[in-house]
Structure formats: C-alpha cells, structure tokens
Structure 1
Amino acid sequence: MKDIVEIVVPDAKHNGKLYIKDRLQRGLYSFIGHESFGGILLFFCVAIAMIVANTPSLSEHYFAFWETKIGVSINASIKDISILHIVNDVLMSLFFLMVGLEMKREVLYGDLAGFKKVSFSVFGALGGICIPIAFYLYFNHNAFGADGFGVAMSTDTAFALGVILLMGKRIPSVIKIFLVTLAVADDLGAVIVIAVFYTQHLSIFWLCVATGIIFILIYINYRDTKFVFLYLLLGIFLWIAIYKSGVHPTIAAVLLAFCIPGRTKASGVYFEKMMQEWDKIDFDELEKIKRNYPIKKHKSLLQAFRDGIKNFIQPTNEKKIDMERASHYVHILDSIGRYSHYAKNPLLRIEHALQPICAYFIVPLFAFANGGVLISENLDLISNDIFWGTLLGLILGKPIGITLFAYLSEKCNISIRPRGLSYGHILAVGFLAGIGFTMSMFVATLAYDDQNLVDISKISVLIASFLAMMLGMVALFFSTRNKKNEK
C-alpha cells in the first residue's frame, strides 16, 4: 500500500481518483485486519443463515445441502458423513486446536502460569456447568425435557470471543484470556457430560487406542521432536480414534494442543546457531556489496537488450562485483533463515498459522451452517418448560455460577484471581458464557428424538444467546469504563 501512495500522477484529475482509490483500499484492509472483523463476520453469517432457512424458496435447499452425505472409507472406520458434520466435527477441530494452543501458551508464559491461576478459570467453569443445570432441572426435573439438561450448560467459544473482539482494544487482554480458558474448561466439561450421559455406544477399544496415541504424543514431546508434521499426523489418528469411541471428536484437538511442545531445547540450539552465523557478518563490507547492486528502474525487454549490447561494446567504469564475497554473505543469510525456521516455537508456529484460517473461514462457515433454524408457527415457547429452563439456565445460571464459584475458590485460597481481572469483568464474562449456540444445539440433537422438541430447544438457545450477548456487552461496557483495571 505504501508504494501506491508514493506514485506521482501529473494529471490532477487522475491523481484525485488514485488518492480516493488508495484511501478506500487502505480503509478496507484496515477493517479486515482489525480484530473486531472476525466477530462482525460471524454475526453476519448467522443473520444470513436465519434469513435463508426461513425463506420458502431457499429453506429446503439450505437444509438439504448440509445433510448431504459424503462417503469416506478408511478400512470402513468412517462412512457417510454429512457436510454439516464435516464442518462441526472436522473443521471446528482446527478451531479447538487453536483455542487449546492459546490456553497452553498462557499457562506456560502468560498470566495463567501456576495451578492456582489456572484453577480460577476451572472453578468458574465448574460453576458455569452446575448452576445452569440446577436452573434447568428446576423446571424440567419431572418432565419429558429432563434429558436436555446439557443444553443449558454449554458456552460457544467462537461467539463469546466474537463479542469481545467486536468491542476491540477497549477490552483488556486479561478478559480475553479468562474467557478463553473458561470456555475451554467449560467445553471439556460439556464433552465429558456428553460422553457420560449422551453417548449411546461408547467403545472401550477406541478409547484405549486414543490413550495410546496420547502417550506417543507425550513421548515425542519429551524427546524434543521439532517436526510439526509428526504431531499433526498423530493428531489425525487421534481424531479418528476419538470419533470412533463415541466421544465428540473436537476433544481430540484440545488434547493434541496440550501435547504440542511450547518449550523445546531444539529451538534454543538453532537460535544459538543463528546468532553464530549473525556474528560472522561484517556490516561495513556488506554495505559496500549492497552499493554494487543498484536498484534499477523497470525496463522493457527491448530496452534491456539494447543496454546489454551497448555495455558489452562500450563497458562502463563501474566497480566490479566481488561475486565470491557476495555469495559468502548470501550463504550466511540463507543459514540464518534456515536456523530461524527451526528455532520457531512449535506451539506459536501452529497457532499463528491457524488464527486467520479460523477467524475468516472456519468459524464463519460454522455459523452459517448451524445458524439457520426454521421458525414454525406451531412452536409454543411461553408455556414450555424447556424454553424457560434453557433461557434462565444460560442468561442467569451462567453468570451466577461462574462468579460465585470463582469467588469461593479465591476466598478458600484454592485459586488466585489473575491480575487486572475484576469481579465486574468476571460477571460480564459470565453473561457472555451464556451464549450457548454450538454445543447447546449439538446436545439438543442428542437429547431429544422428537424434532419438535429439538426445534424448541434450538430456538430457546438462540433467544437466550442473543439476550446473553446483549447483557454481556452492556456489562463489559460498564466494567471497562476505567482504563485502570481493578486488582
């Protein structure tokens, strides 16, 4: 973009057009690169999905497309997977891998280092599971909707994070970190609940296979293996084993993230080699060589041919280039580049690669695939216990449970509240944790056989998630008014 700005156009009319075009391009790139763009894109996809799902001419095609089966056979281990399951189980596993890597990074290097700091989020997540279930069962304990208690206990990490990113740099990083760790612990708790209460066929054999693969990952981590592809390859086999075991396969991505090294001796060795090569450079001599490589203006092929003939017939008095010394420095710089590649932290390397893919493709696609819920006139929400249990469980049970359990864990000296995180922040995050969307809708499809109950549950989740989002944004606005964070 800088090169475009420096172009000088004599014609004022064209110069004005170029300036406006450049301003628009810079504004577009700045908007896309802003951290709130992912959240805006996410909500936009949900809105489009709702419109398409409830448009008569498009609704049938929308649902039929996501239910289209794709046959995959790996020794008959996986077969007939729908496009919706590919999005939810395969692509979203990459998102959970990124979330797991972020959590591990903060545990190793950030404000969450130490058991007491991690346990603060874990206890908060535990409260965010138990209290919403209690709210839900209060309305449905003797009703046919009792099996859906898991709908009211789940947090959608992508949506909750999208709200925080939507508010931009106003939100302190400690709030984002707390939400991520809380949501991951919450998701792990939800997966355990699904495995225990909603898994109809649990395969002990495939669980043992998955356990064996995890031990292999731990071993190659212990051996300080720097080859990232080896972790990812074993991660694929771990995903298949978890999938076949009957447990939700996104947990495989989180387990893989915990096994990827965040500290390696190999990185230190290659960093030292890189610095040794750097010390070999004579910068004064390198500057002289650089001056002998002038940057010339672009020429046409015919003009370059003419200048070549002219220089051959009448050679200039320009200084000759010492190709041997130049090649020597090129070799040093090439070595530095190679060593710097190997010195990269595997955890950070994978995390940085996944961030744009998840923010701009996977999460928006997931929102579009799952956001379309058909609203029928026959749905009776006001008198339905499932609706009230889900609604109050998410928008009241979540903030009360998270704040209460986190407070008690700190007062009982079991955990330490991260520096800069106030209880106003925690309450706001508790409201955002009521955005259930992903796992809540998934649990709804497992809990009920009646499609009418599934639709009621999904619409309840959407309404509760919308209210939780509004309450969370208001709470965040007021809790972050002062730049100085409470300790």
Structure 2
Amino acid sequence: MSTSEPHPDPDQSSCSGSVAFEAQSSRSLRDFIRTESGSAGMLVVAALIALVWANSPWSQSYVDLWHTELSITLGDGGLTMDLHHWINDGLMVVFFFVIGLEVRKEFAIGELVDRSRVVVPLVAGVMGMLVPAAIFLALNPSGEAAAGWGAVIGTDTAFLLGVMALVGPAVSTQLRIFLLTLTVIDDIVAVSVIGVVYSDELALGALAVAAACLLVLVGLDRAGVWQAAPYVLVVLVLWFATLESGVHASIAGMLSGLLVPALDPRRSDVEDAARSFRAFRQSPMPGVQRAARRSLTRAISVNERLQEALHTPTSHVVVPLFALANAGVDLRDGVLGDALGSRLMWGIVLGLVVGKALGIFAGAWTSVRLGWGRLPQGVGLGHTLAGGALSGIGFTVSLLIISLAFESSRLQDEARVGVLLAAALASLAGWLAFRFAARFLGQRDAALPTHLSRPVDPARDHITGPVDAPLTLVEYLDFECPFCARVSGVGKELRAHFGDRLRYVTRHLPLPVHPHAELAALGAEAAARQGRYWDMHDVLFAHQDELELEDLLGYAAGLDLDVEQFLRDLDDDDLARHVAHDVASAEESGVRGTPTFFIGETRHIGPHDARTLIEALESSQGVPRPIG
C-alpha cells in the first residue's frame, strides 16, 4: 500500500467476524454512543425548562402552546393535530424509525450477528421488563392506575449512556455494548406494547394499507434497491396509514426501520467508487461528478445513510423537544403531595429503580450460571447490577406510554412525577453500584484488554527483522480481509524506516465471515514448514479472491515447494493448533477485527497507515512526534 494514496476511514478499515470476534468498537458504534451521550444533556435541560415553565406564572402559556393546532392540507384532504400530538405521534416516529434502523444493522452486520452473544442480554432484558411490571402491578393490581404498567418496562438509551459517562468507569466500552444490546430488546418489546396495548379502535382499511407498505419495503429490500427515496416515501405512507388505523404510529417507525436493509460495503462497489473518484479527479466535469457521487452513495447501505442523516437531529432535536412537551408537570396546588402519597407513583418508582436493577442482574446471573452464555469480555456481574440500576431511567418511553395510558390529567401528573423521581434515584443507585463493584469486586474498567496476552515467541511466531530488536510491531491478520491486503505493504515501509530497530510479527485471526481465511492461514503455515512463509504471505494477499485448495496448491508449485509435502501439512493437526493458538491469543488480547496491531505489548487504537504506525512506534521509545 502506498501512503500517498487516499486511505479509507481508519476507524472503519477493518474486517470483523461473528462468533467470538465482534467488531472492535467500530466508528459507527462510537458515534452512536457519543451522539446518545450528548443528547442526554440536552434532554435534561429540556426537562428542567419544562418543569420550571409549567410551575411559573406563565404556566398557562406552556399548556396553550402544546394545544396549538397545526394542519397540513392537500386539496380536500389533510391532517390536523395539536403540537403535542405532532411531537408524540409524528416526530417520535422518526425516533423509533432510527431505533429500528440500528436494530436491523446490529442483527445484519453489527454486534448481534453472532446470535449466541444475544442470549445473556436477551434473558437480562426480558427479566428487566417482567420484574418491574410485576412490582408495579403488585402495588396497582386493578383500577385505572393498573393501565400504567407499560411505563416501567422501557429504558431511555440516551439518558442511560449520558449518566454512565458521568458515574460509570472511565472506560466502559464493553458494558455499553452489553447495555445497548439489552436496550434493543427493551425497545422492540416496548414499542410492541405501545402499538398493541395502547392503541385506539382499529380501522381495517388503513391497517390493510399499512400492511401493504410493509410488503413493499420487503420487496424493495429483496430487489436490492439502494436509493433512499423509495424507502422514505413508503415509510411516510405507512406512517399516515398507521395513524389513521388507530394503532399508535410508533410501531410503524420501528417496523419500517427493521425492514430497511443494512449491508457491509461490497468490494466491487467500493472499487467502482474508487474508479469513479479517480475519473472525476482527472476530469472534473458535472456528468463525471454525478457518476462519482452515485457510485460513492451506492457503496454504503441505505440503512447506514439514513442513520447518518437522522441520528443526530433525532437525538439533539426530536428527543429534547419531546421532553419539553411531556415533562412539564405543574407541581403546585398539592400535586406533589398527592403524587408522593400515590401508589401509582411509587409503583413506577419501585418498578424502574428496584425492578430494573434486580431483573437485569438476576437475568444475567442466571444465564451465566446455567451456562446459556457469557458476559462480554471485561464485564463483571457488578457492572451488570450497576448498568441495570441505570436502566431504571425510563424517561422518553415511560413518558410516552403515560400519555397514552391515562386520560386523567391527575394520574398523568402522578405518573410523570414517578418517572422524574425514578430517573434521579436510578442515577444515584447506578453510581453507588459502580463504586461497590470497583471497591469490593475489583471491577473497575469494563473494556476489552489492551495488553498482548502471549508475548512474542521467536520459536513459533513469524518474525522479520532482528529477533532482539528494541521495537516490536505485531499484526493479527486475515488473508481474505481486503483491509489487511491494503496494509500488507506497511511492514516493508516500516522496516525501511526503522531498519534493524524493528521486528515485525504476524499472527493469524481467520474470521468466520471469510470462508477461505482458515485454509489460507494453514497454507501460509504449510509454506513456513519449507521456509517460505513470507513468500506465501505475499502471494495470498495478491490473490485474495482465489483461495480455494486448488489455488493454494498452484501457489505452492509456483514457489517451488514440495507440493505433496505441502498438501500433507495442510492436514497436520499441529498446524491447526498453531492457528488456534493465535486465535486464542487474539481473543485474550481484546482483538475483535483485522488488521489489529500491537506496539510492543499494547494494542494500537486508531489509523494503521505507515505514517501513524511510525509515529506510534517512535512514541513508544520516547521519541517526540513531529509537529504538523
């Protein structure tokens, strides 16, 4: 790879696999967490403004604002709702649509590709809804108040991540991934409850139109339609039909998001985009520019493009606006006193604060104890208790369900006080649980390891450069990973720069998503038996699309290897154990994608172009980085 060529986004330039090899905190995931965390601060500010406004001398203007009607008309038809309903039944559909997009992406190409990793958060998530609902119904077994049981099953992801950034471990990447998986399950169930339990009388004609829209979305997916416009148009029709059907429109948002396809960029599309970009650079004309933009757009799935466009405005505008419209409880005239004496309020508080923590912890503990699954590497049961406590921040979903469950303004106010009090108490409980886990259980950081678990062994590792060189660079690679091929020349550039001061080491991490990667790794090891590992290393990367057994035998012949011996070695259990040893060391060291580099014994995080790695290696020796 030439460092003068445009380099792909460094945070995305890695392959990831399923089973034990989830993506190494991809940039999209970090962006999601960062956006949600930032949204929490705006949400809190909006809620405080709503509370102050609703309890001020200008409280009537707060009420009047949300009762202001807004109409959209087209000819003789149209839609008229007050601002409160436009937010709850309109803008919040966009919120749930983005959640659906994220869920589809996680199941298709993200953290939930490996279904075995879903078991523990699935059980924890289900228990984290059943226990709170049971506590609530124990206090409110009948009457109008009993309808509010749905308010204790949901979790506000933005609020949870924001508070965790304040009270949680300094590094909590793995715990956040666990909790995000759990809240995915939370969201699916909560939206289903909203759509089924808290809906009005149904209009069958509108429901039929909504069902037809869902079928059209499935058809667009099957047909491989990559433009965003057809999906958006169908979703708008689906939203209107669902609104008219009597089913709460939030379910339309979630279902439509789940049906928008998410795919990893195909190599052919990426290469086509690169060719189009080069053509535009050589001939910057409008027609060439349109073709380049079209090919660049096509390389990214419509799911990810819609998330990119909607996630930030949803988190920074829609959710705070929802809080502003729904958190304004007038606590005067005895409302606060009545709420504190209300079984409804305490059912919500205890359901969210106690029920969520106990349910999630019990579900995780039971799953691990019975061997159904395991917690993510770096996450302890103390972390799940603390995370479960923070999951008691129901806020957005809870407030939405309250507005649907109760017609009485008195009951709505009591329930909203419970949600607000629960958010404060859950935050305090989470802080205390994190302190307990750190002090008494030794569970501080909840992140992947960053230390190379098995030191370089010259007797078994493949090393180029002096074995006693002061600088060490270890690469975990996959011969079928296109990003590994892009950096396959980095080792040569580094050795040219450092000379005998560097030893460059490679280890295998064949990912399950690449069907020929393990055979290619065995082929490299079989070539090593005849002293030609590095030659085979280069040949395999040069022919990534041709890694069948017959291809490997041809490469062995081209390198003048003993082909019969090469074939026998491919079936040697010792070589399989060698590759398995590398895979185990990768998992122990926190490696979750390829290529991954270690500077000495510390995992390198960030871009892996030659210049960046040179700076990182020099920094490891105390050599200052150049300015600029």
Q: Could you tell me the TM-score, scaled by structure 1's length? A: 0.74
Distance in 1 between the 2:383 and 2:108 partners? 23
Higher strand share: 2
Q: Is 1:359–2:322 an aligned residue pair?
A: no
Partner SS, residue 201 of structure 2? coil
Corresponding residue number in structure 1 for 2:122 = 122
CA displacement at 1:35 relative to structure 2: 7.3
User: Which residue in the other structure is 1:454 paired with?
Assistant: 412
Q: Measure how far apart 1:410 and its partner are.
A: 4.3
The amino acid of 2:444's aligned partner reads R
Q: 1:280 to 1:425 in 2, by over 3 A?
A: same
Residue in 2 that maps onto 1:236:
236
Contact 1:67–1:83 under 8 Å retained in 2: yes
- Give 2:190's aligned amino acid: A
Q: C-alpha distance in 2, partners of 1:231/1:63? A: 36
SS at structure 2 position matched to 1:449: coil
Give the one of 285, 295, 317 matched to 1:339.
295
Q: Residue by residue, what CA displacement relative to the aligned partner does 1:250-305 show, whole Å, maximum 9, x if unpaired?
A: 2222222221121278x544323234457789xxxx9xxxxxxxxxxxxxxxxxxx
Partners of 1:151 and 1:443 within 8 A in 2:
yes
1:444 aligns with 2:402: yes
Instruction: Report the 3-state secondary structure (helix = DSSP H, G, I; strand = E; otherwise coil) of the residue aligned with 1:145.
Output: helix
- d(CA) in 1 for partners of 2:77, 2:285: 53
Corresponding residue SS for 2:113: coil
How far apart, CA to CA, are the structure 1 residues paired with 2:77 and 2:334?
40
Q: Where does the alignment leave 5 or more consecutive residues of structure 2 unmatched? A: 1-33, 450-587, 589-628
Residues 147, 346 of structure 1: alpha-carbon distance in 2 compared, 3 angstrom cutoff: closer
Q: Sequence identity of aligned pairs in percent?
A: 32
Range with greater deviation from structure 2 (333-342 or 457-466): 333-342
3-state secondary structure, aligned to 2:339: coil
Check conservation: 2:170, 2:445, Cα contact below 8 A.
no
The one-letter code matched in structure 1 to 2:324 is: F
**8 Å contact 1:36–1:167 — kept in the other structure?**
no
Deviation string 1:32-83 (CA, Å, 9 cap, x unpaired) is x987543222211211111111002x21001110121223456988643111
Q: Which AA in structure 2 matches 1:228? A: A
Paired residues of 1:39 and 1:165 also in contact (CA < 8 A): no
Counterpart of 1:45 in structure 2: which amino acid? Answer: A
Query: Counterpart of 1:357 in structure 2: which amino acid?
Result: P
Q: Distance between the aligned counterparts of 1:329 and 1:441, measured in 2?
A: 52
Is contact 1:156-1:437 (8 Å) kept? yes
Matched, 1:53 2:57: no
Equivalent pair of 2:168/2:434 in contact (CA under 8 Å): no
Partner of 2:137: 137
Looking at structure 2, the residues matched to 328 and 144 of structure 1 have their Cα atoms a distance apart, in angstroms, of 67
What CA distance in whole angstroms lies between the structure 1 residues aligned with 2:216 and 2:434?
43
Instruction: Please state whether the residue corresponding to 2:220 is helix, strand or coil.
Output: helix
Task: Verify the 8 A CA contact 2:270 2:296 in the aligned structure 1.
Answer: yes
Structure 1 residues 268, 230: CA separation in 2 closer, same or farther (over 3 Å shift)? farther
Aligned pairs for 1:404-443 within 5 A: 404-443=362-401
Structure 1 residues 238, 409: closer, same or farther in 2, change over 3 A?
farther
**Are residues 1:149 and 2:149 paired?**
yes
Within the candidate set 440, 445, 451, 1:482 is matched to: 445
User: In the alignment, what sits opposite 1:376?
Assistant: 332
Query: What's the counterpart of residue 94 of structure 2?
Result: 94
Greater fraction of residues in helix: 1
Give yes or no for contact 1:121–1:182 (8 Å, CA) kept in 2.
yes
Residues of 1 paired with 2:334 and 2:445: CA distance?
Answer: 48
Within 2, Cα distance between the matches of 1:142 and 1:158?
32
CA distance change for structure 1 residues 107 and 141 in 2, over 3 Å: closer, same or farther? same
Q: 1:169 to 1:75 in 2, by over 3 A?
A: farther
Query: Where do residues 3-82 of structure 1 align in structure 2 (5 Å cutoff)?
Result: 36-56=37-57, 58-73=58-73, 79-82=79-82
Instruction: Say if 1:136 and 1:149, in contact at 8 Å, map to a contact too.
Output: yes
Which residue of structure 2 aligns with residue 401 of structure 1? 359
Give the counterpart of 2:304 among 345, 348, 364. 348
State the distance in 1 between where 2:83 and 2:420 align.
22
User: Please, what is the CA RMSD of the aligned residues?
Assistant: 3.2
Distance 1:429 1:439, change over 3 A: same
Compared CA separation, residues 74 and 150, structure 1 to 2 (3 A): farther
Deviations 1:418-441 (A, max 9, x none): 344332332222222211222322
CA-to-partner distance for each residue in 1:338-362, whole Å, 9 max, x for gaps?
Answer: 4223222222212122232123222
Q: Identify which of structures 1 and 2 has the higher relative contact order when contacts are C-alpha pairs closer than 8 Å and 6+ apart.
A: 1
Report the CA distance shift for 1:420/1:232 in structure 2 as closer, same or farther (over 3 A).
farther
Cα-to-partner distance string for 1:177-197 (whole Å, 9 max, x where unaligned): 333332232233223333443
Alpha-carbon distance, 1:91 to partner: 1.6
Aligned position for 2:273:
274
Verify the 8 A CA contact 1:399 1:434 in the aligned structure 2.
yes
* 2: CA distance, partners of 1:223 / 1:277: 24
TM-score (norm 2): 0.59
User: Is 1:211 aligned to residue 211 of structure 2?
Assistant: yes
Q: Taking structure 1 as reference, are residues 232 and 459 closer, same or farther at Cα in structure 2, changes over 3 Å only?
A: same
Cα distance in 1 for residues equivalent to 2:404 and 2:290: 55
Distance 1:280 1:455 in 2: 62
Asked if the contact 1:70/1:83 (under 8 Å) is kept, the reply is yes
State the partner residue of 1:389: 347
User: Residues 94-150 of structure 1, C-alpha deviation per residue, up to 9 Å, x if partnerless?
Assistant: 222222222332323333222232343333222122111111111122555223222
Per the TM alignment, residue 169 of structure 1 is displaced from its structure 2 partner at its CA by 9.0
Distance 1:449 1:279 in 2: 62
- Cα gap change, 1:217 to 1:119, in 2 (>3 Å): farther
In 2, the alpha carbon distance for the partners of 1:190 and 1:328 equals 50
Could you report, residue by residue, the CA deviation over 1:308-331 in whole angstroms, capped at 9, with x for unpaired residues?
A: xxxxxxxxxxxxxxxxxx648998
Tell me, in whole angstroms, the C-alpha distance in 2 between the residues paired with 1:422 and 1:108: 27
